[in-house]
Amino acid sequence: MSLAAQGSEQDAVHAEAEDTQRLSGKSVVTYSKPRYISTTTIKPRSGKSSGATLGSASKGYAVWGTGKTSAGHTQIKFFGQDAWVKSSSVKRVSVANYTTKRGTALRAGAAAGKTLAKLPTDYTVGTLNNARTNKNQWVQVQYAGKTGWVASKDIRSVSLDATAGPGPKSYSDATWASMVRKNIAKYCPSVDVRVSKKRGEYYAESIPRRITLSRIGNNDPNAGNIKAVALHECAHMQQFKVYPSGFAKLTKYAEKINPRRDGRGIEHLADCMSERMGAKRTGTLANGSTYIAGYQGKCTSAQNQAAASLLAGKRPAGA
């Protein structure tokens, strides 16, 4: 199994014309209003659906809002001017980030509010408004799709560039592995997960039945890339199950239906199986970087039919 990561777009100014400017990547801004990231190329205007175009910025550019929205549009600051963009073209992100110093509760209200969730230690969360209450003893943050309050004494301020989500100390190896096991339990209920501290180490074993996954650089066991890798290795387990005496025939057949003819037909077939199990082989991580999991290439109808047979516990026709 291979796993490749691609960084987010570069922080650079690409061009500057006489009356307009085009920007790419993340901007450096100093306002204290809501912060947004463009999800596509934006062309801010002086009016909501009309008015002069003030320039353009590519996907991944950071802007700050004025706090105003109207009729599906959001007002932002662009080169010092108030400008409007479609609300669907920007995503609101943190104005401040905090990392937990210890495990702490996310409460519906400050102090005595209902506990909404438990935050583990070394976990980074963001706040959309940095609201505080009770003499700054509580801060409102976002966690796992919930908005609530955490005690100021349990968190520390960190850079806006800090990656949201768990840190190296958030989960023990045993807990990390347990969470991965839950993600593959539907298809590999009796398969153990072994945590590796060797970067890029991912493989499945038939005897003993276990999957080895590298945790280095992957603190979140629920991240899309780790889910995809785990399901890919789970797919190999299904292959072992259908071909318990060795699957030379399957390997030969997998290469026969492999349009890439790269000698990795069995791996591509595992990718197709993982997709049917719910894996997303490409996506975006919490830090904004994109990932590619697997051996790339779309699955053909023949590969999908073979994948379906194997997941049903049957040998593909012709294999």
C-alpha torsion sign, points 144, 146, 147, 150 = negative
C-alpha torsion sign, points 96, 100, 105, 111 = negative
Per-domain boundaries in the chain = 3-93, 96-163, 173-311
pLDDT per position as a tens digit, 141-194: 999 989 999 999 999 999 988 889 999 999 999 999 999 999 999 999 989 999
H-helix or E-strand containing 115? strand 115-119
Is residue 235 within 8 Å of residue 250, measured between CB atoms? no
- 216-226 mean pLDDT: 95
pLDDT at position 17, please?
Answer: 27
pLDDT at position 22, please?
Answer: 52
User: Which DSSP letter does residue 288 get?
Assistant: S
Q: Which residue in the block uniquely carries the two structure tokens 């290795």? A: 233
Pick the CATH number of 96-163 from 2.30.30.40, 3.40.630.30, 3.10.20.30, 3.30.70.600: 2.30.30.40
Q: Are 3-93 and 96-163 equal in CATH topology?
A: yes
| 3-93 homologous superfamily | SH3 Domains (2.30.30.40)
For the cut 70, the answer to whether the pLDDT of residue 20 exceeds it is no
Angstrom distance (rounded) from CA 273 to CA 288: 27
- 251-274 mean pLDDT: 96
For the cut 70, the answer to whether the pLDDT of residue 138 exceeds it is yes
CA angle 21, 24, 28 (to 5 degrees): 90
HSE-up of residue 184 (Cα within 13 Å, Cβ side) = 31
Angstrom distance (rounded) from CA 294 to CA 268: 8
Between 21-25, 92-96, 301-305, the lowest mean confidence (pLDDT) is in 21-25
Angstrom distance (rounded) from CA 75 to CA 90: 11
CA angle 152, 153, 159 (to 5 degrees): 60
Give the distance, in angstroms, between the CA of residue 302 and the centroid of all CA atoms in the same chain: 30
Residues in the chain: 319
